């Protein structure tokens, strides 16, 4: 397994490189298909964020989907250890999901998910009646007016995949949802985590 280390606004000493290589080698016991792991270490220059001044992002390239995890801490070693723990947990969850993705753990169908969404709308769960000038919260930011406030935008290449593949990749990136193009219906869809190993699916009908 190859390990590539990069840094921004900081210097990586040989002792840190040796520690990273020793720790990252343990990932192979969770996924023997790991080919390369890229480690990006970034130092935050804002003195107000001293307790989160170092961000470490790990990206593992395997023979399957890419696995990504990150963490922030006051020093490089702590951030690396936290990111590594998260990546190992994601790999374990993905392996566990393969074993339990049957019977009652099968994801909610697109039809059921959409029916539930329509029922919520019919019951008045929508927020159409809210005061347009009322203050709302978008994360830590107060927003007044129509919004929404876009604070980040990303574009990804999409290869159509099955629902099972989407669930697997969601576990590997450690998110509670995953946007994909359904291979069968060819519709943009989102699979999301509900409770435990229960999942839901929402799809868009572009027509």
**Across 93-111, average pLDDT:** 56
3-state SS class at 37: strand
Say yes or no: 41 and 111 in one domain: no
Say yes or no: 117 and 64 in one domain: no
- In eight-state DSSP terms, residue 57 is E
CATH of the domain at 166: 3.30.505.50
Structural domain including 92 reads 2-100
**Of 3, 4, 67, which Cα lies nearest the Cα of 31?**
67
Q: Model confidence at 124, in pLDDT bands (50, 70, 90)?
A: very low
Say yes or no: 49 and 118 in one domain: no
Does residue 143 fall inside a structural domain?
A: no
What total of structural domains would you count in the chain?
Answer: 2
Phi, psi for 19 (deg, rounded to 5): -65, -45
Predicted TM-score (pTM) of the model is 0.52
pLDDT of 118 > 50? The answer is yes
pLDDT value at position 40? 92
pLDDT value at position 80? 93
Say yes or no: 94 and 118 in one domain: no
67-73 vs 54-62, strand pairing mode: antiparallel
CATH of the domain at 87: 3.30.160.100
**Across 165-192, average pLDDT:** 85
**Number of CB atoms found within 10 A of residue 29's CB:** 9
């Amino acid at each position: 397994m190859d390990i590539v280390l990069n840094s921004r606004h900081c210097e990586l000493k040989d002792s840190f490189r040796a520690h990273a290589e020793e720790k990252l080698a343990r990932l192979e016991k969770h996924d023997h298909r790991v080919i390369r792991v890229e480690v990006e270490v970034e130092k935050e220059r804002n003195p107000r964020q001293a307790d989160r001044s170092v961000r470490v992002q790990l990206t593992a390239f395997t023979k399957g989907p890419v696995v990504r995890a990150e963490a922030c801490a006051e020093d490089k070693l702590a951030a690396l250890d936290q990111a590594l723990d998260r990546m190992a947990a994601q790999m374990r969850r993905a392996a566990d999901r393969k074993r339990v993705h049957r019977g009652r753990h099968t994801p909610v169908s697109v039809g059921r998910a959409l029916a539930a969404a329509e029922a919520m709308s019919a019951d008045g769960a929508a927020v159409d009646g809210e005061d347009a000038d009322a203050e709302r919260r978008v994360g830590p930011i107060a927003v007044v007016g129509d919004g929404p406030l876009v604070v980040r935008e990303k574009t990804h290449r999409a290869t159509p995949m099955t629902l099972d593949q989407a669930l697997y990749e969601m576990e590997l990136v450690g998110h509670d949802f995953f946007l994909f193009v359904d291979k069968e219906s060819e519709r943009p869809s989102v699979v999301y985590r509900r409770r435990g190993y229960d999942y839901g699916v929402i799809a868009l009908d572009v027509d």
